[in-house]
Amino acid sequence: MSRLHTVLLGALLSAVFTAALRAEAPVNQLTDAEQRGKWRLLFDGRSADQFRNYKKETLNDGWVIEDGAIVRKKGGAGDIITKEQFDSFELQLEYKISKAGNSGLMFHVTEENPAPWHSGPEVQIQDNVDGHDPQKSGWLYQLYQPVKPAWAKNFEQQVGISTPDIDDATRPAGEWNHLYLRVTPQQGEVCINGVSYYKFQVGSDDWNARVAKSKFANMAGFGKAGKGHICLQDHGNEVAFRNIKVRDLPDGKAPEPVDGALPLKSILAFPNLEWDGWEEIDEKGKPTMLRPIHLTHAGDGTNRIFVAMQSGEIQVLPNDPAATKSKLFLDLRDRTHSWKIDDEEGLLGLAFHPDYKRNGELFVYYTPEAEAHTAYVSRFKVSKSDPDRADPAGEEIVMKIKQPFANHNGGSIAFGPDGYLYIALGDGGGRNDPLGYGQKLDTWMGSVLRIDVNRKEGEKNYAVPSDNPFVNQTGVLPEIYAYGFRNIWRMSFDRETGLGWIGDVGQDLWEEIDILVKGGNYGWSVREGTKYFGNAPDASKAKVVEPVWEYDHQVGKSITGGFVYRGKALPELTGCYLYGDYVTSKLWALKYDVDAGKTIFNKSISWTGQPILAFGEDEAGEAYVMMPSASGKGVYRIVKAE
């Protein structure tokens, strides 16, 4: 690409990036994703007509509408309930409590008792600093309190840090907090500011044992109704509520946030293929799981397909469904840390140089066995005598990236339309971003880096582009292009528009899709998706790039990002961003209008029901989906449904 073309493209992308920036999520409104996911508002910021006082037909004047919130303003307000009753549901709201204030959120409230708390279990709301109750915000009053999961303790032990056993994700009095409640016959859950506090099941043996030890033991109807009103408590202190949203879960499951399905399906891309050097059974007689982590092409006109495996090898094969044998293009298994030991490590990224046809260079992101919790971004070259072999002995380590934990490694690498290499990193790992790396600019963690692999500066095997957004800023690492990510699991560039697309894996509540913006802050770990996260003060004022799409953990629990389809075989998919979920094994296509900042549609695509590990595209832009496989049949192609 000529320098003139690069400048013109840079100007175009700057305009598109500006269009991609979005203001903070609107208050008392539903996002595109929430609308499609069948969430609805219980309060629009102007009228409280969906509420009334307990045992009354109207609302007392102690409750007022003020600055888009319903506020308990003065004495005599009383407890208020929804006019509607709910059985199996999800609720999210934001609350702001006054200094030393106390309130509560109750569910399944019935009206045959003197007070709503005689029937409805209460999620505590209070000022945790000066409040008068030892049970903190988010606790299910006298029943459940936050529990640190075992996996979080394991990661802390791994690096020798310790965080409190009982979470307090609540922000100070006078600041907004996000509260999430789910109640179904199968399971209930409470999250405060995105952090899962505990799970429960009303009526279970555990539930009954806790109730028997509480002050509710003698209240025959406590927690027994199975259906009732949602109640906001008047505890004599000022409290405000807004963004009150509910979703019915009639069968205990959330509706998928889709606009129908595309007439597409997935079939085995290479049904007769044998992988060079891969054995279905290991030396211990156990199945060997194939984990294809990336599928791509070399951009050299040969139409070959390259598949990178998490175990440390890269295979090459002809782009032919009848292909029967691949060739081992690059074998790094002797130096790659096994994903069987740490399942988020191994070979995680592959990118061919834009000028590969001339220089034969490719770049690999992997975790070396020689250095624990470190990533290498290394340069390799194709053999001069065999176009289907690269030389493992010719490795040049371009970057070493130290990482505190074994999880949240990111690992996607891709060349942007500007010819620079972009490297996507997670926040370093653990739970709740314990080191605060997401919002720090003196660490590479939680960022997308941008480097020039065609030049070298000083002792580095790369150079920092002069137009990187944080160049020459004190205390900031100049390689950083954007930050505030939790764990990017996959990044790609649209071959038509040049936009960078990112799938960022969430923690307990939200998954998101982002468009890469120069210098952008994507919010983690003070924001997750469009919602607050954790107890950082004034987090609601953080200037962030909002996601173009998000979904909650009742839909999926670990996003797998893909790419924007620009092939020819599936015109109904043109311009759609392919993505899926590793845990719930769902496959979608998102059509998004960048200029308008609006979703055109989100549609489902038929899939096998197996975990979606990665996506890929061949030289023609046709789409592939990959999954772990014990049979070696882990690469699928998206085709028209018959």
Per-residue pLDDT tens over the stretch 154-185: 888 877 888 888 889 999 999 999 999 999 99
Q: Are 178 and 89 in contact (CB under 8 A)?
A: no
**Residue 256 neighbours by CB distance under 10 Å:** 18
In whole angstroms, give the CA distance from residue 381 to residue 466. Answer: 27
Measured CA to CA, the distance from residue 566 to residue 576 in angstroms comes to 8
CA distance 564 to 515: 12
Cβ neighbours around 334 below 10 Å, total: 8
| DSSP assigned state of 274 | B
Residue type, 419: G
Q: Which residue has the tokens 């059985």?
A: 87
**Cβ pair 629, 636 in contact under 8 A:** no
Would you state the structure tokens that stand for residue 640, as one six-digit string?
């028209």
Dist CA 612 CA 589 (whole Å):
14
CA dist., res. 40 & res. 471, Å (int): 45
Segment (H or E) for 200: strand 195-200
Residue 21 CB neighbours (<10 A): 14
Helices (H), 21-117: 32-36
- Alpha-carbon gap, residue 232 to 244, rounded angstroms: 11
Instruction: Give 575-594 as a DSSP string.
Output: TPEEEEETTT--EEEEEEET
pLDDT of residue 25: 62
Is 323 in contact with 637 (CB distance < 8 Å)?
no
- DSSP, collapsed to helix, strand or coil, labels residue 246 as strand
Q: 512 φ, ψ to 5°?
A: -145, 155
Please give the pLDDT value at position 156: 83
pLDDT under 50: residue ranges of the chain: 1-23
Q: How far is CA 461 from the centre of its chain?
A: 32
> CA quadruple 614, 446, 544, 65: dihedral positive or negative?
positive
Question: Residue 201 has which token pair?
Answer: 């099941």
Distance CA 146, CA 495 (A): 46
CA distance 597 to 26: 13
Q: Which two tokens stand for residue 607?
A: 């899939």
Give the residue among 534, 537, 483 at the shortest CA–CA distance from 510: 534
Task: Tell me which residue of 69, 119, 70, 141 sits closest to 229, measured CA to CA.
Answer: 119
Based on DSSP, count helices (H) and strands (E) in the chain, helices before strands.
5, 39
Ordered DSSP codes for 140-199: BTTTB-----HHHHHHHHHHT----SS---PPPTTS-EEEEEEE-SS-EEEEETTEEEEE
CB-count exposure of residue 375 (10 Å: 0-12, 13-18, 19+)? buried
pTM: predicted TM-score of the whole model, two decimal places: 0.94
- Residue 504 CB contacts under 8 Å (≥ 6 apart), including other chains: 485, 486, 487, 488, 489, 511, 512, 513, 514, 522, 524, 547, 559, 561
What's the sign of the alpha-carbon dihedral 191, 195, 198, 200? positive
Count CA within 13 A, CB hemisphere, residue 106. Answer: 28
Instruction: List, in order, residues 6 or more apart from 622 with CB less than 8 Å away.
Output: 567, 568, 569, 570, 637, 638
Torsion of CA 471, 473, 476, 480, to 10 degrees: -20
pLDDT at 346: 93
Is residue 485 within 8 Å of residue 502, measured between CB atoms? yes
pLDDT at 24: 52
Tokens of 600: 């055109």
- Buried/exposed 625-640: b ≥16 CB within 10 Å, e otherwise: bbbbbeebbbbbbbee
Nearest to 444 by CA among 463, 428, 467, 420: 428
